């Protein structure tokens, strides 16, 4: 719609670059143009420039009328033309509506959720996964070739802590059914013990050395417990729709990072610090001191990430961008990593997307203290709310249908709630609020799609020629204008790496449709032609809503 309007305005003699905005009130028009630059170019006042332009474009093409309001030209569009153009575009393009080829020559790696073995997937990982899934789809619809990958930390200090705790406190215990959860509990227990008994830290350090040396006695226990974690991750990833093209593991990479550290030391980019640790002083750049290797010779996260950068570049030499998704607490860390790689001579375009902490109404959580909220707990809590509501709505449904529908709604509720907040901001997750069928929630948007499905099913309408001139209501035109804004919402989401733009868009379109539905009958409209026209308009809305939900990695339900 904006492109069509721009052509009309340019044909009227406007040569300057300009943007169109949406007036704050519907009675002020559908789009507006500020005439300050136009006035300056023509050496007239902004009000005079606006009045002159309004006369030239009024009645042209999509524009039914143009009026000047001080320095602005406000445009009122023809409902029939707007609705026909939008609806036919949606129906023709279907699932590709909103797609772009602007970035068709780009290849982008998206690395997420970078989870740790020997720990559970908790509410923080869940936010990471939701953001990663959505960004992959947004980037793909923007024309990119996207390669989702994961980097699993299966060899860090946390593994040594867990194995130490397992040997020290649970060597004779029989593992429970949920082995992954058990390992997480042991890790938390070991962390608390080490905090209260700091003299035992040397034992963990020795175990870490044995682990990195692949000690024959320790290695089988490490591989067995690692496998427990990986199997549980696979189950959750399948449920959440995570599809990695490749997974990198720290145990396969960390030694390569050590070689990079040796090269940095050899080339005098890195230096020997206190106690023999290897460092790079980045304080002059405001990035503090980067620790590349501990004084005992063992590596750190940074050591492994240096090796990972090499491996990723070798596996995917033609990528244009490599995106890392982690918590905002690692912002400084990634700035250090990128700078160290730059100093080392590697030219990788890397982007770090930091997301804020996820808190509960009761406060903050910490895996070291053991008061984490696990993914399973989040899912079960939301599912309980959704299943109850589904049973109350559909007493005639079978138990199986209620439960299967509730599962889909639960996943939509979780994903939507985690994505409706801007990534960098701290969010509070309230299961009851997320599961609500009213307001800015996933179930609300899903219910709108289900409502349209019900209308289409009841109508039994077949494909017929539509008389768009019958669609004259303001709510009908607003639906078309909102659908037309889908591509722009995707562009904004891509530019800012911000899926919350899409959640807001989906909610706005769903709300606009429900406002229309409550004010105007669809199946009981005045005549058959109007019924058909409103059904086609509804079907277009359903298509765009489903496209938006797909970008959020949400599967719609047929009925609710």
Instruction: Give the model's pLDDT for residue 134.
Output: 98
**111 touches 152 (CB < 8 A):** no
Instruction: Give the model's pLDDT for residue 364.
Output: 60
Domain assignment present for residue 525? The answer is yes
**419 touches 131 (CB < 8 A):** yes
pLDDT digits (tens, 9 = 90+) for 527-544: 999 999 999 999 999 999
Q: What is the CATH number of the domain that holds 454?
A: 1.10.730.10
* The two structure tokens encoding residue 477: 């035109």
337 and 383 inside one domain? no
* The two structure tokens encoding residue 348: 């990788």
456 and 499 inside one domain? yes
280 and 421 inside one domain? no
Residue numbers of the domain that contains 23: 2-77
226 and 302 inside one domain? yes
Strand-pairing partners, residue 32, are 21, 74
349 and 381 inside one domain? no
240 and 385 inside one domain? no
381 and 445 inside one domain? yes
CA distances from 531 to 187, 441, 464, 509 (A): 62, 29, 12, 21
290-298: long-range contacts at Cβ-Cβ below 8 A with a sequence spacing of 24 or more? 290/336, 290/337, 290/339, 290/340, 292/261, 292/264, 292/340, 293/258, 293/261, 296/205, 296/209, 297/209, 298/205, 298/208, 298/209, 298/212
Instruction: Give the model's pLDDT for residue 408.
Output: 96
pLDDT digits (tens, 9 = 90+) for 37-73: 999 999 999 999 999 999 999 999 999 999 999 999 9
Which of 355, 325, 332, 333 shows the shortest CA–CA distance to 149? 325
278 and 188 inside one domain? yes
Which of 300, 328, 359 corresponds to the end of one domain? 359
Domain assignment present for residue 86? The answer is no
DSSP state of 329: G
In this structure, the strands spanning 63-69 and 72-77 are antiparallel
385 and 533 inside one domain? yes
* The two structure tokens encoding residue 343: 């100093």
Instruction: Give the model's pLDDT for residue 452.
Output: 97
205 and 242 inside one domain? yes
Q: How confident is the model at residue 194 (pLDDT cuts 50, 70, 90)?
A: very high
Task: Count each helix (H run) and each strand (E run) in the chain, helices first.
Answer: 20, 13
Domain assignment present for residue 367? The answer is no
Domain assignment present for residue 251? The answer is yes
Domain assignment present for residue 84? The answer is no
Sheet architecture: strand order including 350-355:
246-249, 145-152, 107-111, 321-327, 350-355
Domain assignment present for residue 98? The answer is no
- Across the range 271-281, mean pLDDT stands at 94
Q: What is the CATH number of the domain that holds 170?
A: 3.40.50.620
Which of 314, 333, 359 corresponds to the end of one domain? 359
pLDDT digits (tens, 9 = 90+) for 74-127: 999 999 999 999 999 999 999 999 999 888 889 999 999 999 999 989 999 999
Assess whether pLDDT exceeds 60 at residue 370. no
Q: What is the CATH number of the domain that holds 32?
A: 3.30.1360.70
Question: What b/e readout covers 491-529, taking b as 16+ CB neighbours within 10 angstroms?
Answer: bebbeebbbbbbbbbbbbbbbbbeebbeeeebeebeeee
Ordered DSSP codes for 256-278: HHHHHHHHHHHTTSSEE-GGG-E
Which of 77, 93, 121 corresponds to the end of one domain? 77
Sheet architecture: strand order including 289-293:
271-272, 278-281, 289-293
Domain assignment present for residue 439? The answer is yes
Which of 378, 348, 365, 313 shows the shortest CA–CA distance to 129? 378
**298 touches 213 (CB < 8 A):** no
Give the mean pLDDT of the chain: 94
**150 touches 113 (CB < 8 A):** yes
349 and 413 inside one domain? no
* The two structure tokens encoding residue 265: 């030391």
332 and 221 inside one domain? yes
pLDDT digits (tens, 9 = 90+) for 131-188: 999 999 999 999 999 999 999 999 888 999 999 999 999 999 999 999 999 999 999 9
Domain assignment present for residue 557? The answer is no
| Domain count along the chain | 3
């Amino acid at each position: 719609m904006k492109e069509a309007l721009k052509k009309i305005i340019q044909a009227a003699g406007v040569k300057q670059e300009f943007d169109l905005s949406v007036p704050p009130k519907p009675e002020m028009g559908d789009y507006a143009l500020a005439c300050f630059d136009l006035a300056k170019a023509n050496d007239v006042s902004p009000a005079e420039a606006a009045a002159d332009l309004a006369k030239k474009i009024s009645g042209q093409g999509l524009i039914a009328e143009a009026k000047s309001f001080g320095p602005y030209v406000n445009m009122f569009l023809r409902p029939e033309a707007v609705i026909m153009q939008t609806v036919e575009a949606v129906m023709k393009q279907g699932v590709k509506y909103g797609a772009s080829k602007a970035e068709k020559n780009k290849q982008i790696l998206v690395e997420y959720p970078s989870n740790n073995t020997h720990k559970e997937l908790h509410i923080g990982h869940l936010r990471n996964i939701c953001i990663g899934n959505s960004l992959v789809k947004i980037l793909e619809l923007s024309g990119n070739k996207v390669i989702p990958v994961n980097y699993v930390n299966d060899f860090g200090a946390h593994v040594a802590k867990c194995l130490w705790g397992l040997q020290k406190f649970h060597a004779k215990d029989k593992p429970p059914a949920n082995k992954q959860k058990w390992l997480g509990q042991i890790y938390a227990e070991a962390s608390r013990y080490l905090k209260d008994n700091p003299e035992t830290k040397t034992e963990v350090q020795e175990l870490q050395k044995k682990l990195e040396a692949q000690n024959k006695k320790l290695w089988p226990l490490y591989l067995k417990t690692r496998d427990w974690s990986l199997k549980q991750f696979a189950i959750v990833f399948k449920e959440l729709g995570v599809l990695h093209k490749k997974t990198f593991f720290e145990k396969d990479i960390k030694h390569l990072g050590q070689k990079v550290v040796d090269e940095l030391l050899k080339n005098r980019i890195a230096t020997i610090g206190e106690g023999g640790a290897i460092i790079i002083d980045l304080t002059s750049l405001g990035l503090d001191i980067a620790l590349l290797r501990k004084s005992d010779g063992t590596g750190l996260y940074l050591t492994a990430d240096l090796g990972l950068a090499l491996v990723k570049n070798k596996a995917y030499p033609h990528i244009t961008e490599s995106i890392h998704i982690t918590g905002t607490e690692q912002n400084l860390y990634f700035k250090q990593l990128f700078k160290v790689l730059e100093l080392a001579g590697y030219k990788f375009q890397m982007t770090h997307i930091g997301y804020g902490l996820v808190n509960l109404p009761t406060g903050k959580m910490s895996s070291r203290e053991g008061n984490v909220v696990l993914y399973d707990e989040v899912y079960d809590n939301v599912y309980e709310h959704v299943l109850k509501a589904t049973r109350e709505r559909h007493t005639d449904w079978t138990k199986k249908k209620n439960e299967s529908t509730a599962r889909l709604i639960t996943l939509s509720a979780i994903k939507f709630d985690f994505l409706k907040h801007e990534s960098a901001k701290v969010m509070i997750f309230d299961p009851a609020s997320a599961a609500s069928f009213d307001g800015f929630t996933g179930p609300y948007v899903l219910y709108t799609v289900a409502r349209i499905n019900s209308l289409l099913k009841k109508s039994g309408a077949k494909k017929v020629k539509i008389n768009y001139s019958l669609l004259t209501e303001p709510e009908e035109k607003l639906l078309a204008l909102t659908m037309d804004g889908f591509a722009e919402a995707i562009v904004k989401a891509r530019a800012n790496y911000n899926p919350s733009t899409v959640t807001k868009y989906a909610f706005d379109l769903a709300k606009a449709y429900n406002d229309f539905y409550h004010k105007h009958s669809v199946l009981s409209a005045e005549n058959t032609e109007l019924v058909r026209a409103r059904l086609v308009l509804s079907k277009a809305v359903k298509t765009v809503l489903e496209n938006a939900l797909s970008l959020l990695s949400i599967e719609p339900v047929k009925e609710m």
